[in-house]
Amino acid sequence: MHLSVLKKEILEYLDPQPNQNFIDCTINGGGHTSAILEKTRPEGRVLGIEADKEIYRQLKLKTATQEIDFRRLVSVNDNFVNLRDVVEEKKFISVSGILFDLGFSSWHIDQSGRGFSFGKEEFLDMRYSPEKEGITAWEIINKWPKENLKMIFKDYGEERFSGRIAEKITEERKKGKINTTLELVETIKKAVPPRFQKGRIHFATRVFQGLRIEVNDELENLKKVLPQTINLLRPGGKVAVISFHSLEDRIVKHFFKDCFRENKAEILTKKPVTAGEEEIKNNPRSRSAKLRVIKII
């Protein structure tokens, strides 16, 4: 089950009031959205965007069965990089806040079967929208040059053994294709020194992160969408972003600082807001979550 992180903090910073409109750019299972809809009764609406077609389908089923007032939800199956176009198409105006929860869903790991998990045997896909054309993790692992692999693992995964892992992958794929998650994990294991295989973080985590970011163009999409938010908000509107690794957080931090320097926004979170002990206990995934918020001037 996917649990929305920092829900209490999101409500505190966005402070949704009756009849206000909000945009949830990563609606997923609707956890944050449902909480916002409760606060914006009776006429407030939420525009919810979800890139993954299967998660979107599940969300539509929820709207038909849950007691939450989803008649005030405008849901769209699209990538948030197209935010401005979606808003124009839906004529969604007078927006008081825009939310991004950049973490990928627990469903992707537990049920998607697309190779996001290094704990079970799955084909190396890693696309959020497999029905659309796009490169897979399999193509990257089996076809890309060694230097490109090293770049992905180092720059996107922040993997200290990026060169050794890229070298081992290019060696192993000469013997036969690396088709599945566990085959990739075994290849990574051969490249990582034994004393670094027993840490708190699984030794394959950073490589899988780098691949997922590259396959879905996550960082570039974030850079493209953040500037779109400013002109979509009413004065006093807020942008809230929950990130889960330092690369995302750095992009958000720099964008918010630029907005402040250009006198476009006030930074409400001088330091990123993190989960409390109780939330981390109930949802370990929240440990790495960081929330930053700005208010449009």
Residues 29-55 have pLDDT tens digits of 899 999 999 999 999 999 999 999 989
* Last residue of one domain, picked from the residues 162, 183, 216: 216
**Which segments of the chain have a pLDDT < 50?**
1
Residue 77 lies in a domain: yes
Shared domain for 127 and 208, answered yes or no, is yes
For the chain, the domain total comes to 2
Report the CATH number at residue 237. Answer: 3.40.50.150
- Residue 286, classified by CB atoms within 10 Å of its CB into exposed (0-12), middle (13-18) or buried (19+), is buried
Cα 130 → chain centroid: 16
Residue 175 is assigned to a structural domain of this protein = yes
pLDDT at 66: 67
Last-in-domain residue among 174, 189, 216: 216
Which of 33, 27, 29, 28 is closest to 11 using CA atoms? 33
Are residue 211 and residue 236 in the same domain, yes or no? no
CA distance 201 to 159: 12
Residue 2 within a domain: no
Task: Say if 140 falls within a structural domain.
Answer: yes
pLDDT for position 131? 78
Q: What is the pLDDT of residues 240-283, one digit of tens each?
A: 999 999 999 999 999 999 999 999 999 999 999 999 999 999 98
Domain boundary (171, 191, 216) is at 216
Task: Provide the pLDDT for residue 149.
Answer: 98
* 212 and 261 belong to one structural domain: no
